[in-house]
Amino acid sequence: MTSVARTGMSEGFVSCGACGLLSRPAGAEEPGECPRCGETLEFRRRDAIQRTWALVITAGICYLPANILPVVRTTTLTSEETDTIISGVVHLYATGSWYLALILLIASVMIPLAKLSALAYLLITVQRGAVRNNRERARLYRLMEIIGRWSMVDVFAATFAVGLVRLQPLMSVAPQPGVLFFSGVVILTIIAAESFDPRLIWDSSQGKQETND
């Protein structure tokens, strides 16, 4: 960019996180409340970097048990087997539904991992004051917000199998502890993405240009 971008913060305005109204804050330290909707105003989401890191790390820790522990146990007259997320994907692939296996592989295994890596990348670049690829990083953030919810697919699938297959002793499906960790990962990454503030991506280049003036 050739000229210094005029942002709300650089011009002394704050936009409301709830209703979007642009207003003059009560003070630089305590911006006060939005005159239209009464929401507490913030120039940037509070402690965005620390909060997002905390959630990303917690989700990362849950990711391991979520993939190692079994999610469901299927009991029939002659057999009893437990399935993890991965073995469920392999089963689907082996029984010929390779397209569903692919959907599950992407939704359950790859999306959470991609989300965690993307958030870590955004956090690190913001903390190092990176000024490059701003537009791409902004796009990455928006993409992450959209795809995150699809990771819940396996938890929904497990819930319906558990709810439907109650033909004891012929056949029954019971939930296993992996389900809890897995939904934990999904929730934590969704909240992590929400606590990050994409405006931080642009703030570093703002500082650079201001000192250059």
Q: Which of residues 53-82 bind another protein (CB under 8 A)?
A: none
Q: Near another protein by CB under 8 A, which window of 50-58, 62-70, 102-110, 117-125?
A: 102-110
35 binds another protein (CB under 8 A): yes
Nearest to 62 by CA among 34, 30, 85, 83: 85
Which residues, 37 to 56, sit near another protein by CB under 8 A? 37-39
135 binds another protein (CB under 8 A): yes
Q: Collapsing DSSP states into helix, strand and coil, what is residue 196?
A: coil
Q: Compute CA 93 distance to the chain's CA centroid, rounded to the nearest angstrom.
A: 27
Nearest to 200 by CA among 112, 128, 143: 128
Buried b (16+ CB within 10 A) or exposed e, 113-147: bbbbebbbebbebbeeebbeebeebeebbeebeeb
In this chain, which of 86, 114, 120, 152 binds another protein, going by CB under 8 A? 152
Q: Near another protein by CB under 8 A, which window of 50-58, 60-68, 94-102, 115-123?
A: 94-102
Q: Near another protein by CB under 8 A, which window of 52-60, 111-119, 124-132, 201-209?
A: 201-209
Which amino acid, one-letter code, is at 68?
I
In this chain, which of 119, 122, 179, 185 binds another protein, going by CB under 8 A? 179
